[in-house]
Amino acid sequence: MKKLAKFIIVAITQFSFVANVSSEELFESQNEYNKSHLTGSGFITAHELKNKYVEFTVIDKRAIFEGDIILSGVSKFNMQFEIYKLKSSSSDYETKGIAITGSKYRWKNNTLPYQINENIGTELKLKILDAIEHWKLNTNIELVERTDKNSKLYNDYVEFLYWSEGCAADVGRKSGRQEILLKNACSTGNIIHEIGHALGLWHEQSRSDRDQYVEIINKNIEPWSKHNFEQRITDGDDIGEYDCASIMHYGSRAFSINNAPTIRPKDSDCVIGQRQGLSQNDIATINYLYPKIEIE
In a domain, 242, yes or no: no
Residue 45 pLDDT class (50, 70, 90 cuts): very low
Query: For position 111, which CATH number holds?
Result: 3.40.390.10
* pLDDT at residue 58, rounded to an integer: 72
| pLDDT 10s digits, 211-220 | 999 999 999 9
Using alpha carbons only, how large is the chain's radius of gyration in Å? 18
Residue 8 in any domain: the answer is: no
**What pLDDT score does 288 carry?**
87
pLDDT level of residue 225 (50, 70, 90 thresholds): confident
Question: Looking at the domain assignment, is residue 119 inside a domain?
Answer: yes
Residues 6 or more apart whose CB falls under 8 angstroms from that of 194 comprise: 68, 167, 168, 169, 180, 181, 182, 186
**Average model confidence (pLDDT) across the chain:** 74
Q: Which residues are known catalytic residues?
A: 194
Q: Provide the domain limits for residue 110.
A: 94-202+278-286
User: What's the predicted TM-score (pTM) here?
Assistant: 0.74
Helix boundaries (H) for 120-276: 122-138, 188-199, 227-230
Of 177, 188, 198, 173, nearest to 68 by C-alpha is 198
Residue 132 falls within a domain, yes or no?
A: yes
Work out how many domains the chain is built from and give that number.
1
Please tell me the distance from the alpha carbon of residue 184 to that of residue 166, in angstroms, as a whole number: 8
Domain contains 23:
no
Whether residue 213 lies inside any domain: the answer is: no
pLDDT, position 92 = 38
**Would you give the DSSP letter of residue 250?**
P
d(CA 68, CA 167): 6
pLDDT digits (tens, 9 = 90+) for 80-115: 333 332 233 333 334 456 666 567 789 999 999 999
